[in-house]
Amino acid sequence: MVGNMKLKVLKFVVGLIAISITLLFLYTNNLVLPKYLPVGKISNSSVLAEVCDMIITGKKILDGNIPMTPLTPLRNITCQQYLTQNHYIMKPLSKDEAEFPLAYVMVIHKDFDTFERLFRAIYMPQNVYCVHVDEKATSAFKDPVGSLLSCFANAFLASKRESVVYAGLSRLQADLNCLQDLIGSQVPWKYTINTCGQDFPLKTNREIVQYLKGFKGKNITPGVLPPPHIIRRTRYMHLEQKYQLFSFMLWTWIRKMSPPHNLTIYFGSSYVALTREFANFVLQDQRAIDLLGWSKDTYSPDEHFWVTLNRIPDICPAVGLQDHMSQGRPFLQPPTTLQPLESATHLSSVTGTS
């Protein structure tokens, strides 16, 4: 009885030692299971293309053989190779789209991979694209952006760059700089759409065109009269503070003058879709110029500038202003809602069409 028990214990110990030696041998000889790339780690569209090619050709996808540096024209490939590998659309896909070109304003400051995927997703050859890169952005970001855009005749960097301060006039000015450049473009665009680097399209270009055509030359500027806790943003002065390592908006208790031309200030989204006619008005009309000057020491002027101008009665007929409820710009997914407003989730669906 005791002998049988000792024999079982001995077999167990011998088996355990054998398993340990086997595992140690496998580990020291790198025969353990390969360390595959974690799901979700590949964000660059060029890298995704290479991964797809490896899958098709039956190659193993390991950490060591995935080029994690973005495969841009900086990496010893021609523009044509880049466009081919990333499957860029180089001809209009329909007559409707060809006859209704769009202009995009893209304000970015970081995450080249994310920008590259956004640009690839919204790119069409009949459209035109102005990209504003924050003056504070690193060369490691600016250089690949410039290299990428150099491959496209209808995409370019803004002629004037701003050092953008969050919620400051510089953020609005970045949009306006691109808008000025786009007005000078030979592309006969119908609407301009502004985006940030973290946006992403929810619709195809054709669906966006069809949606915008439905507005019959009206602008999309979501907004309402400012709630009480927002009025402070335009009633008191707020000053941009720029330092070498950081920047911010300084709140003060200094009262501002009343808005110029007796304008009623509205509050809404900084992300809009504007007609070319309205873009010209924004850049040239004295009321727009004066409102911009008045807004230079307000908080987040891009959230009142577009919507306020679009509410001037003699510029655009008042049609469905505050009570018109829709999805605003349902073709683009914004990075965040307007926070910290209690009504933020509702504001994104209030569309002024005038």
Both tokens of residue 244? 């070498």
Strand order in the sheet with 155-157: 155-157, 128-133, 102-108, 191-196, 273-275
Residue 225 vs residues 54, 113, 178, 222, 287: alpha-carbon distances, Å: 55, 38, 28, 11, 19
Determine phi and psi for 160, rounding to 5 degrees: -135, 130
Angle among Cα 312, 315, 321 to the nearest 5 degrees reads 50
Tokens standing for 247? 């920047």
Considering only CA atoms, which of 109, 93, 192 is closest in space to residue 145?
109
Q: How many CB atoms lie within 10 A of CB 133?
A: 24
Catalytic one of 207, 277, 303, 342: 303
The sign of the torsion formed by the CA atoms of 274, 279, 282, 286 equals negative
Calpha distance 110→180 (Å, rounded): 23
Residue 303 annotated in active site: yes
User: Hey, which residues are catalytic here?
Assistant: 303
